[in-house]
Amino acid sequence: MDYPIRRTLQSRFALARRFGIGLPQKLLPSLREYLRTNRTLGGQMQVLAPPCVEYFDPPQPLAPEFANERITSAFSPTLKSPLPPWELARIPGAGVFGRELFVSTPDRDALFIENATYEKILDRTGKFALRRYATHRLPGASLLAFNHQAEKNYYHWMLEALPRFLALDSIDEPVRVLVPSNAARFVADSLELLGIVREDQPLTALEDAYYECDTLYYSGGRHRRGIPSRPATLAVRDRLISASKQGNSRFPKRIYVSRQDSPRRPITNEDELSEKLKANGIESVTPGSFSLEEQVQMFAGAELIVGIHGAGMTNTMFCKPGTPFIEIFTDRVVGHFWRLAQLLELDWRYVAGERSANGALENVDAIVSSIRDL
């Protein structure tokens, strides 16, 4: 965290403490450093996986006419992405501040915010959000395995947060699994499909309150925002595929991932694109209209994926290596699925879509013609 930001936030914490709000006074940049310097608490830090580095090849267009310098320059072909170690901390008496998922020290004197964004600490006017938190006690052991934005964003949940729950393999006592009460449905669905949430390992939905934990396990690291880890992604993918019944023949093999259920980045003539792809044997599907298990089945059996950048294409994590994966870029260029495809050895290529002022995709015929023979 930048020093001026930390100093500003610390002064606001001090103000809150002065007026008896009961919020922490210090911010912790590193949970590892905290446990190292506060051994009297009995906290422990276990490295589950060492740091690793991922290398990515330059992006390739589907056809020469789609080559685009803006897209190529946005993805560094020499990107070297050191991922931090995946660590599991055990902290007796630690607390969690409600749906914000801030972890506090047992005495509430300091706050660890590696698993949350700074914006959550401030309200929209830039002022410190002073709130009085009710206190609840959570007996036994609890597991917090989260990162920022994951509870509402399918991509960040599946590739950055869900792998952290595999830390349960290293915990030898029953735990309750902590998630915010406003989490999207896919959070509980994925935890249940993985067998993480079950009768002896319940899900606890956190409200806006302070939760005192007898013992808190915190699983963190092994990702940088937008850059998933190969071992973590493969582990989650393999477990979800294994937990899903395979061989369902009712799903199409050649798939266009529709964005019609998303209000963000709409394509006003998406129906035209869908119809022309359908005429060439590529069926339009809206992943959100299927259960998570059905989405796993569908993409695991797919032979071709086409789509405009969006969260639904996170499901390509279930595709077989070598599956052709065509991503259509319009006005927003980000490398999430370019990286994911390389980690999973998919045949990813891009198309530079030409978007008009009214949000229509102007080069539909050229896109369909290039995809037809795949």
Chain segment 311-328, per-residue pLDDT in tens: 899 999 999 999 999 998
Task: Give tens-digit pLDDT for 114-141.
Answer: 544 444 444 444 343 445 668 899 999 9
Tell whether 13 and 123 lie within a shared domain: yes
Query: What is the domain-level CATH number for residue 364?
Result: 3.40.50.360
| Whether 290 and 189 share a structural domain | no
Residue 113 shares a structural domain with residue 207: yes
The last residue of a domain, from among 221, 242, 262: 221
Residue 225 has pLDDT above 90, yes or no: no
Q: What pLDDT is recorded for position 2?
A: 44
Strand partners, 99: none
- Which of these three, 196, 221, 246, is where a domain ends? 221
* Co-location of 313 and 196 in the same domain: no
Domain contains 346 = yes
- Among 111-115, 125-129, 206-210, 211-215, which is the least confidently predicted range? 125-129
Residues 201 and 260 grouped into a single domain: no
Cα dihedral across residues 60, 62, 65, 69: positive or negative: negative
CA distance 60 to 42: 51
DSSP state of 153: -
Q: Which residue range(s) make up the domain with 358?
A: 254-371
pLDDT value for 292: 95
User: Do 198 and 272 belong to one domain?
Assistant: no
Domain count, the chain: 2
The pTM score is 0.84
Statement to judge: residues 180 and 272 lie in one domain: no
Q: Are 267 and 332 in contact (CB under 8 A)?
A: no
Same domain membership, residue 148 and residue 17? yes
| Count, residues in the chain | 374
SS3 112: strand
72 lies in a domain? Answer: no
- Domain assignment of residue 80, yes or no: no
The reply to whether 160 and 267 lie within a common domain is no
In the DSSP assignment, the letter for residue 68 is -
- The answer as to whether 180 is a domain residue is yes
Distances (CA, A) of 269 to 49, 260, 266, 304, 368: 46, 11, 9, 22, 14
**Would you say residue 226 lies in a domain?**
no
Neighbours of 32 (CB within 10 A): 19
Q: Which residue has the higher pLDDT, 166 or 353?
A: 166
Asked if residue 48 belongs to a domain, the reply is: no
* pLDDT tens-place string over residues 1-18: 444 445 545 554 554 444
